[in-house]
Amino acid sequence: MRFRTVTSPHILAEAGVAQLMRRVLYAMAPGIMALIWFFGWGVLVNLALATSIALAAEAAMLLARGKPAVAQLNDYSAVVTAWLLAVALPPLSPWWLTATGVVSAIVVAKHLYGGLGYNPFNPAMIGYVVLLISFPREMSTWLIPHGFGQPEAVTWSETLRAIFGGVMPERFAPDALTGATPLDVLRTQLGLGLNVAEIRNSPVFGIVAGSGWEWATLGFLAGGLWLVYTRTAAWQIPVGMLGALAVVATVFHVVNPQRYAPPWFHLWSGAAIFGAFFIATDPVTASTTPRGRLFYGAGIGLLVYIIRGFGGYPDGVAFAVLLMNIAAPTIDLYTPPRVFGARRE
Amino acid sequence: MWLAVIALGVLAGASGLLLGFAAVRFKVEGDPIVDKIDAILPQTQCGQCGFAGCRPYAEAIAAAEADINQCPPGGENGIIALAELLGRDPKPLNPENGVEKPKMLAVIDEQNCIGCTLCIQACPVDAILGAAKHMHTVIAKECTGCELCVAPCPVDCIHMTPIAQTIATWKWTYPIAETAVKPPVAEVAA
Amino acid sequence: MSGLFAFHGGLKTVRHKSESNQRPIQLSALSERLVVPLRQHIGAIAKPLVQAGERVLKGQLIGQPDGYISAAVHAPSSGTVLAVDQQPVPHPSGLPDWCVTLETDGEERWIEREPVAYQTLHHSAVRNLLRAAGVVGLGGAAFPSAVKLNLSGRSERLGTLILNGAECEPWITCDDRLMRERAAGIVAGLRIMVHLLDPREVLIGIEDDKPEAIAALNAACAGTGYRVRSVPTRYPSGSVKQLVKLLTGKETPVDGLPVDVGVQCFNVATAYAVHRAIDCGEPMLSRIVTVTGRVRRPQNFEALLGTPFAELIAQSGGYQDGVERLIMGGPMMGFALYDDRVPLTKAANCILAAGIENLTPEQPALPCIRCGACADVCPADLLPQQLYWHARAKEFDKAQDYHLFSCIECGCCSYVCPSRIPLVQFYRYAKNEIWAQEKEKQKAELARQRHQARLERLEREKREREAKLRQKAPPRADAPAEKSSVETAVARAKAAAPAAAEAAETPAAND
């Protein structure tokens, strides 16, 4: 009897790329649900819009590059990019904003650099930064969080009209509908000479950090921990990033509590948790050695604090991640693990 | 003004001393580039490059009198290695010099050999054993497959045979082929 | 994990042990025709000692070891030699190799067997007996055991002798059954090893999914001081360097062997073979092999070397439907065979007729997403990803910088790779290429030296000829001028030596 031959190992683990990517999507679900609860249907529309544009752009690029489009579309990596970006966009962003961001991410940041596995920069963050630099006004008009179904909440039809028609709901006074994000508030008011305790009394703040935001953060933390538990995300990156952020924030807070917010505020604000578990852990653009990942995460945490505290933007996760993306190959070079049987240093 | 001139002067002087010291301390003996080129060449000594052996060809390359694509036994890999060593772009093998072939072994048909010693004189690595009027044979281990012995033989009893692959010489292949032969599968993972 | 030292990485894989470990070892039926490969071990191929038509006895030497790292081959049964030629053998290449084909006469007539009292013999005499008996490691690598049992060059006393009964690969149960049924024989062989190696301690490592084997060996070791250690079931705990780390905490150096850290390790089946060779005078003629997977009665056989796989499968009830691949060894490190008409060898511990449900369907490889799962499971603490990039780009120097040769090819990285990249295959390819290049280089160096020597010889001959001519020529008035012209001619010849060689006008005196 004759047989086919294939090289060993003859058995493989079940988790393929598609499964890993799907796990990331599942893990984002609790946080996304919290966002929808507080910011309305716009979040969902953004997600759907970004997903469809991302898939279309991915398919077009794969075809243009002569790759097996069907097989690679099924890897879900474009969907993950779309979701990461959509979550970071203001809930009533006009459709062209989402489209610009997604196309920058998929076409420029991913496929022009060689596609899945070859892009040096996190595509979602490239898309986000392109928007942040090009359209700063649109990117900073966040809705003021309200509970689901409350009279102040934006309705379905208002959402659709805002996103696709560019018409903001008329029944709100401009200040009642949108406002600055909590980190933005902290930044501007610190600039006005107020101290941290005074600013914290502002209504945008809740128990730990931004009201409403903090629940979404909790959701992302839960999902992120599950990712780490299932080994989908490397634990070293969130530990390194949040650890470094906490340490620096503590140091500054101890030195001058008036001027610098406490560490728990920093950890729980903006995209720190979301970034630590979902963005920085993108394996393609992160460091790959175990020790390197700690350094890589720590670098991001440090940069986030520097940008928040001293830079020109209220939050710095996107910039920090991109900057550390540049450093990742160098980090890898200097942090190889000690090979079994090699002499200990 | 004077301070700047002095400072620069001192700096220049120091650098000069350093370079001078380095030139003495790290002086390289002989002409290593020829050795390096020679090390890449396959040492077949077949003369297909137009030179009388690998070393003269290496010297000619080093002196820019010969191109790097004249060695058929070295093949594409050899050209790439030479290009890398010399910082040039690889180029295809010059067809005037021959074509890349799998490694061969000269075999003397011992029934027909008349013992003329012509092949012995032609062999660049003394890999043929025999004496006048006695049958000759090729030492397989030392034959480079240069084919120089084939032409001189008056009775055409020398043949080049490909070296058969055995379990001892078998190699695992480059794996890309394994994935390339498969049709694109729609469902990546269930 | 008390007293154990975990190694990095590794996997929990499917086990599939119970299919074949429920039935006792069965003696396989004598095959009419045995094809005995002369290369069943690591090292030089054995030299055949018989010719077609010769009658041989069971246990008669038919292949002589060629050099120190080589092993003897014996006739597994009595009969007539049909041929000494190239036959298909179990090898990933599917290439044939030199074999002695034997037609058995069914009489099983033995050579003279002499049990030896090893305690009375010099160590080297015992080793020579093992060498003559063709004993090689039965864990899969088939390294000549007599070589590993020779520590005469080392000044320090051996710290630990380890017997490897981990059997970490899925499906394989030959060592499990051997330990359950013939623990006394294993310990008897171990005693001989202890006699030769004089270790400070003796440990037997067995994965904890084999409680019966652990109990059997514990009973057999009572009163000997040998300790049976149960190790966690985690692939690849049966890999030598990993098991040594697990049991002693010592890491074998990158370029070294366990013996460099004072540990020597043998498979349990090897110990049993040592026992049979010394205490019974039987050379290595058979081994225990697991036949499992999609066969009707998966079980272990004690089969003569040279028995065709097809016959062992037939004795297991034959194939069930849907056999996709025939694997020699386990699914992690074993290789797929083209054909089942290949003979059993000393290295064949398992024949796995794998159905589609036991295999991962082949899938096209996706690009590496740098997830690092490979590095997480690598028991050698390598960066499989970097090795992959460099092997793929054929940058073998850089692959070696990342310790390519520390890779044990256990397959863990390929197993977890979400992009389904055949990583191990890349490493095998790179290793083979490096070895081949090394061989090429040596050959080129030889050719260079021989060419150089030839040029010098031609030069010398030319000088001698000219000197002779000078002696013969009668002295003349203008002799000084003549002499100087000869000298310049010699100098010219020196400068144009290669050209002279090429012209080949000099009559050769090649003797």
Tokens found for residue C11 = 């996997």
CA atoms of C75 and C35, how far apart (whole Å)? 10
- Establish if C446 touches chain B: CB-CB under 8 angstroms: yes
Intervals of CATH 3.40.50.11540 along chain C: 26-287
3-state SS class at C149? coil
How distant is the alpha carbon of residue C293 from its chain centre? 25
CA atoms of C59 and C436, how far apart (whole Å)? 37
**Mutation to test the A interface, candidates B173, B179, B188, most A Cβ within 10 Å:** B188
- CB contact (8 A) between residue A9 and residue C7: no
> Which residues does residue C327 pair with via DSSP β-bridges, in sequence order?
C336, C352
pLDDT at C189: 96
- How many beta carbons lie within 10 A of that of residue C393, not counting itself? 10
Nearest to B189 among A6, A7, A19 (CB): A19
List A residues 69-98 in contact with B (Cβ-Cβ < 8 A).
70-71, 74-75
Q: Are strands A142-143 and A178-179 parallel, antiparallel or unpaired?
A: antiparallel
- Establish if C395 touches chain B: CB-CB under 8 angstroms: no
**Residue type, position A241, single letter:** M
Chains that touch C (3 or more CB pairs under 8 A): A, B
Asked whether the CA dihedral C4, C6, C12, C15 is positive or negative, the reply is negative
pLDDT at A145: 83
CA atoms of A117 and A70, how far apart (whole Å)? 17
> Under 8 Å CB-to-CB from C330, ≥6 apart: which residues?
C169, C170, C171, C172, C350, C352
- CB contact (8 A) between residue C450 and residue B126: yes
- CB contact (8 A) between residue A339 and residue C380: yes
**Residue type, position B145, single letter:** G
Whether the per-residue pLDDT at C504 is higher than 50: the answer is no
The 3-class SS string of chain A reads CECCCCCCCCCCCCCCHHHHHHHHHHHHHHHHHHHHHHHCCHHHHHHHHHHHHHHHHHHHHHHHCCCCHHHHHCCCHHHHHHHHHHHHCCCCCCHHHHHHHHHHHHHHHHHHHCCCCCCCCCHHHHHHHHHHHHCHHHHHCEECCCCCCCCCCCCHHHHHHHHHHCCCCCCCCHHHHEECCHHHHHHHHHHCCCCHHHHHCCCCECCCCECCHHHHHHHHHHHHHHHHHCCCCCCHHHHHHHHHHHHHHHHHHHHCCCCCCCHHHHHHCCCHHHHHHHHCCCCCCCCCCHHHHHHHHHHHHHHHHHHHHHCCCCCCHHHHHHHHHHHHHHHHHHCCCCCCCCCCC
Please name which of C175, C179, C118 lies closest in space to residue C149, comparing C-alpha atoms: C118
CA atoms of A21 and A230, how far apart (whole Å)? 12
CA atoms of A12 and C377, how far apart (whole Å)? 13
Unique residue bearing structure tokens 């070296």: B163
Q: What Cα–Cα distance (Å) separates residue C255 from each residue in A341, C357, C383, C401?
A: 8, 39, 17, 13
| Half-sphere CA count of C135, side-chain side, radius 13 A | 31
Contact A32, A219 (CB under 8 A): yes
- Residues of chain A positioned with their CB less than 8 A from the CB of C169: none
- CB contact (8 A) between residue C454 and residue B126: yes
3-state SS class at C251? coil
Whether the per-residue pLDDT at C480 is higher than 70: the answer is no
List B residues 23-42 in contact with C (Cβ-Cβ < 8 A).
38, 41-42
> Under 8 Å CB-to-CB from A257, ≥6 apart: which residues?
A196, A197
- Establish if A17 touches chain C: CB-CB under 8 angstroms: yes
CA atoms of A249 and A261, how far apart (whole Å)? 7
3-state SS class at B188? coil
- Residues of chain C positioned with their CB less than 8 A from the CB of B184: 364
**Residue type, position A317, single letter:** V
Tokens found for residue C151 = 């520590």
pLDDT at B179: 39
Tokens found for residue C318 = 């034959």
List A residues 115-174 in contact with C (Cβ-Cβ < 8 A).
115-118
pLDDT at C237: 94
3-state SS class at C164? strand
As a dihedral over the C-alpha atoms of residue A216, residue A222, residue A228, residue A232, rounded to 10 degrees, the angle is: -70
Residue A6: closest C-alpha in chain B: B178
pLDDT at C491: 57
pLDDT digits (tens, 9 = 90+) for C342-366: 999 999 999 999 988 888 877 788 8
The angle that helices A290-310 and A317-334 make with each other, rounded to 10 degrees, is 150
- CB contact (8 A) between residue B175 and residue C433: no
3-state SS class at C106? coil
Q: What confidence category does residue C161 fall into, taking pLDDT thresholds of 50, 70 and 90?
A: very high
Intervals of CATH 3.10.20.600 along chain C: 288-358
**Mutation to test the A interface, candidates C294, C366, C385, C423, most A Cβ within 10 Å:** C366
CA atoms of A196 and A203, how far apart (whole Å)? 14
Nearest Cα of chain B lies from the Cα of C363 at a distance, in angstroms, of 7
- Domain C288-358: CATH class, spelled out: alpha beta
The count of CB pairs under 8 A between chains A and C is 175
Q: What confidence category does residue C309 fall into, taking pLDDT thresholds of 50, 70 and 90?
A: very high
- CB contact (8 A) between residue A71 and residue B184: yes
> Under 8 Å CB-to-CB from C123, ≥6 apart: which residues?
C152, C195, C196
pLDDT at B134: 85
pLDDT digits (tens, 9 = 90+) for C10-51: 999 999 999 999 999 999 999 999 999 999 999 999 999 999
Tokens found for residue B8 = 């620069």
- CB contact (8 A) between residue C93 and residue B182: no
pLDDT at A5: 60
Nearest to B52 among C447, C450, C499 (CB): C499
CA atoms of C328 and C348, how far apart (whole Å)? 6
CA atoms of A12 and C118, how far apart (whole Å)? 47
CA atoms of A159 and A178, how far apart (whole Å)? 13
Q: Per residue of chain A (345 residues), what is the pLDDT tens digit?
A: 566 667 888 888 888 899 999 999 999 999 999 999 988 889 999 999 999 999 999 999 999 988 877 777 888 999 999 999 999 999 889 999 999 999 999 999 999 999 989 999 999 999 999 999 999 888 887 888 877 767 777 888 888 888 898 888 877 776 777 777 788 888 888 877 778 777 777 777 777 777 778 889 999 999 999 999 999 999 999 999 999 999 999 999 999 988 898 899 899 888 899 999 999 999 999 999 999 999 999 999 999 999 998 888 888 899 999 999 999 999 999 999 999 988 765
Least confident of A82-91, C373-382, C414-423, C484-493: C484-493
Whether the per-residue pLDDT at C478 is higher than 70: the answer is no
Please name which of C331, C493, B172 lies closest in space to residue A11, comparing C-alpha atoms: C331
Chains that touch A (3 or more CB pairs under 8 A): B, C
**Residue type, position A95, single letter:** W
Nearest Cα of chain A lies from the Cα of B174 at a distance, in angstroms, of 12
Domains of chain B (ranges plus CATH)?
32-97 (1.10.15), 104-162 (3.30.70.20)
Nearest to B121 among C93, C428, C508 (CB): C508
- Residues of chain B positioned with their CB less than 8 A from the CB of C498: 52-53, 55-56
- Establish if B185 touches chain A: CB-CB under 8 angstroms: yes
Say which CATH topology domain C26-287 has: Rossmann fold (3.40.50)
CA atoms of B94 and B85, how far apart (whole Å)? 19
Nearest to C364 among A9, A11, A71 (CB): A71
Tokens found for residue C398 = 């850089």
Whether the per-residue pLDDT at B91 is higher than 70: the answer is yes
- Establish if A14 touches chain B: CB-CB under 8 angstroms: yes
- Establish if B55 touches chain C: CB-CB under 8 angstroms: yes
CA atoms of C343 and C289, how far apart (whole Å)? 12
Nearest to A3 among C252, C337, C402 (CB): C337
Asked whether the CA dihedral A308, A312, A318, A319 is positive or negative, the reply is negative
Residue C500: closest C-alpha in chain B: B52
| Half-sphere CA count of A146, side-chain side, radius 13 A | 17
Tokens found for residue C476 = 């003349």
Whether the per-residue pLDDT at C86 is higher than 80: the answer is yes
Residue with more model confidence, B178 or C31: C31
Residue B120: closest C-alpha in chain C: C510
Whether the per-residue pLDDT at B158 is higher than 80: the answer is yes
- CB contact (8 A) between residue C325 and residue A4: yes
- CB contact (8 A) between residue C336 and residue A231: no
- CB contact (8 A) between residue C428 and residue A7: yes
- Residues of chain C positioned with their CB less than 8 A from the CB of B169: 436
Radius of gyration of chain B (CA): 26
- Is C390 exposed, middle or buried (CB count within 10 Å of its CB: 0-12, 13-18, 19+)? buried
pLDDT digits (tens, 9 = 90+) for C238-272: 999 999 999 999 999 998 999 999 999 999 999 99
Unique residue bearing structure tokens 């941290």: A196
Radius of gyration of chain C (CA): 29
Q: What average pLDDT does this structure show over B52-56?
A: 89
pLDDT at C475: 58
Nearest Cα of chain A lies from the Cα of C12 at a distance, in angstroms, of 10
Tokens found for residue B101 = 């072939």
CA atoms of C178 and C26, how far apart (whole Å)? 11
How is residue B65 annotated by DSSP?
S
Whether the per-residue pLDDT at B182 is higher than 70: the answer is no
List B residues 149-178 in contact with C (Cβ-Cβ < 8 A).
165-176, 178
Whether the per-residue pLDDT at C90 is higher than 90: the answer is yes
Whether the per-residue pLDDT at C1 is higher than 70: the answer is no
Averaged confidence pLDDT in chain C: 90
Nearest to B188 among C363, C501, C510 (CB): C363
Tokens found for residue A121 = 């920069």
Residue C452: closest C-alpha in chain B: B125
